[in-house]
Amino acid sequence: MLRNGIDNIGRWAHLLQGKRIGLITSPTGLAADFRTTIDILHERFGLAALFSPEHGVRGDQAAGALVDTYTDPLTGVPVYSLYRRDSKRLTAEMLDAVDLIVYDIQDVGARYYTFIYTMLYALEDCAKAGKPFVVLDRINPLDGVRVEGNVLKAGFESFVGNYPLAVRYGLTAGEVAVMANEECGWKADLHVVRCEGWSRSMTFADTGRAWIPPSMGIPRFHTALLYPGTCLFEGTNLSEGRGTTAPFEIVGAPFVDGERLAAEMNGKRLPGVHFRSVYFKPTFSKHEGELCGGVYAHVLDERTLRPVELGVELLFAARKLFPEFAFLPPVRENGRPFIDLLCGERAFRGEQVDVPALLARFEAESAAFAERKRAFHLYN
Reported as a single tens digit per residue, the pLDDT across 28-45 is: 999 999 999 999 999 999
Q: What is the pLDDT of residue 154?
A: 97
Q: Let me know: does 266 contact 226? Beta carbons within 8 Å.
A: no
Order of strands, edge to edge, in the sheet holding 250-253? 250-253, 292-299, 273-280
How do residues 201-214 score in pLDDT, each as one tens digit? 999 999 999 999 99
Q: What is the dihedral sign for C-alpha 81, 85, 87, 92?
A: negative
Q: At residue 119, does pLDDT exceed 70? A: yes
Domains of the chain and CATH, by start:
5-214 (3.40.50.12170), 221-349 (3.90.1150.140)
Q: Would you place residue 198 in the very low, low, confident or very high pLDDT band (cuts 50, 70, 90)? A: very high
Region 315-328: mean pLDDT is 98
162: nearest Cα among 342, 348, 362, 346: 342
Q: Let me know: does 362 contact 149? Beta carbons within 8 Å.
A: yes
3-class secondary structure per residue, the chain: CCECHHHHHHHHHHHHCCCCEEEEECCCCECCCCCEHHHHHHHHCCEEEEEECCCCCCCCCCCCCCCCCEECCCCCCEEEECCCCCCCCCCHHHHHCCCEEEEECCCCCECCCCHHHHHHHHHHHHHHHCCCEEEECCCCCCCCCCCEEEECCCCCCECCECCCCEEECCCCHHHHHHHHHHHCCCCCCEEEECCECCCCCCCHHHCCCCCCCCCCCCCCHHHHHHHHHHHHHHHECCECCCCCCCECCEEEECCCCHHHHHHHHHCCCCCCEEEEEEEECCCCCCCCCCCEEEEEEEECCCCCCCHHHHHHHHHHHHHHHCCCCCECCCCCCCCCCHHHHHHCCCCCCCCCCCHHHHHHHHHHHHHHHHHHHHHHCCCC
Q: At residue 324, does pLDDT exceed 90? A: yes
Region 111-123: mean pLDDT is 97
Q: How far apart are CA 194 and CA 246, in angstroms?
A: 32
Q: What is the pLDDT of residue 60?
A: 72
Q: What is the pLDDT of residue 64?
A: 65
Q: What is the pLDDT of residue 55?
A: 78
How do residues 144-175 score in pLDDT, each as one tens digit? 999 999 999 999 999 999 999 999 999 999 99
Q: What is the pLDDT of residue 70?
A: 86
Q: What is the pLDDT of residue 289?
A: 98
Q: What is the pLDDT of residue 106?
A: 97
How do residues 50-96 score in pLDDT, each as one tens digit? 999 987 888 777 666 777 788 998 999 999 999 988 899 999 999 99
Q: What is the pLDDT of residue 333?
A: 85
**Mean of all residue pLDDT scores within the chain:** 96
Q: What is the pLDDT of residue 63?
A: 66
Region 259-285: mean pLDDT is 98
Q: What is the pLDDT of residue 319?
A: 98
